[in-house]
Amino acid sequence: MVLRPGRSTRTLDAMRSRTIGAFCAAPAAAALAFGCISAISSINDTGHVYADWISLGIVLEVSAVITVLIAVPAYLVLKRLRLVRWWSALGAGACVGALFAHFSGVQLWPLSFGLLAHALIGLCAGTGFWLIYRGADGTLLSIGATGMDKAARIWCRATVAQSRS
């Protein structure tokens, strides 16, 4: 294992486990997106939503295979080019979803909606990947904590100013 300056083996192990977790989250996010889209599109006249759990399982398995065959090599290329960013993860996910819809011949929905729906499912998979890949280092949490900290300070100042008057 070659260490870059300033990196410990603990950091590299954490990066590896985050990456593996992110690749596990991507198919789950795709299956969740598929479930939401199919539930919305299957609302009948009485307003009932029908969930098809078997289809969700199949989508999870297919998404896992697509992740291994297409998304992992795409990640390795992006990593080699040092382009693993939020926009590249979301764009790659949407492209993989659209390519799957185009080349697989799977028509779950009408053609005009099918390509867009599959691209949206891929976008959700890319989002799930990115949230785990970069969110575990505290980036998202620190942004949220900073915002909450500022909001709490503003609220405290307003409360103190109101109590003094």
User: Would residue 130 count as lying in a domain?
Assistant: yes
User: Would residue 144 count as lying in a domain?
Assistant: no
Count up the domains in the chain and report the number: 1
User: Would residue 160 count as lying in a domain?
Assistant: no
List the one residue out of 94, 121, 130 whose CA is nearest residue 18.
Answer: 130
List the one residue out of 88, 87, 90, 95 whose CA is nearest residue 70.
Answer: 95
User: Would residue 161 count as lying in a domain?
Assistant: no
User: Would residue 151 count as lying in a domain?
Assistant: no
Residue numbers of the domain that contains 118? 9-137
Contact between 103 and 69 under an 8 Å Cβ cutoff? The reply is: no
Q: Which residues contact 119 (CB under 8 A, 6 or more apart)?
A: 94, 95, 97, 98, 101
User: Would residue 118 count as lying in a domain?
Assistant: yes
The tens digit of pLDDT for each residue in 57-90 reads 888 898 999 999 999 999 999 999 999 899 999 9
The 3-state DSSP class for residue 163 equals helix
pLDDT (0 to 100) of residue 72: 92
User: Would residue 122 count as lying in a domain?
Assistant: yes
The tens digit of pLDDT for each residue in 98-132 reads 888 878 776 655 556 778 888 899 999 999 999 98
User: Would residue 103 count as lying in a domain?
Assistant: yes
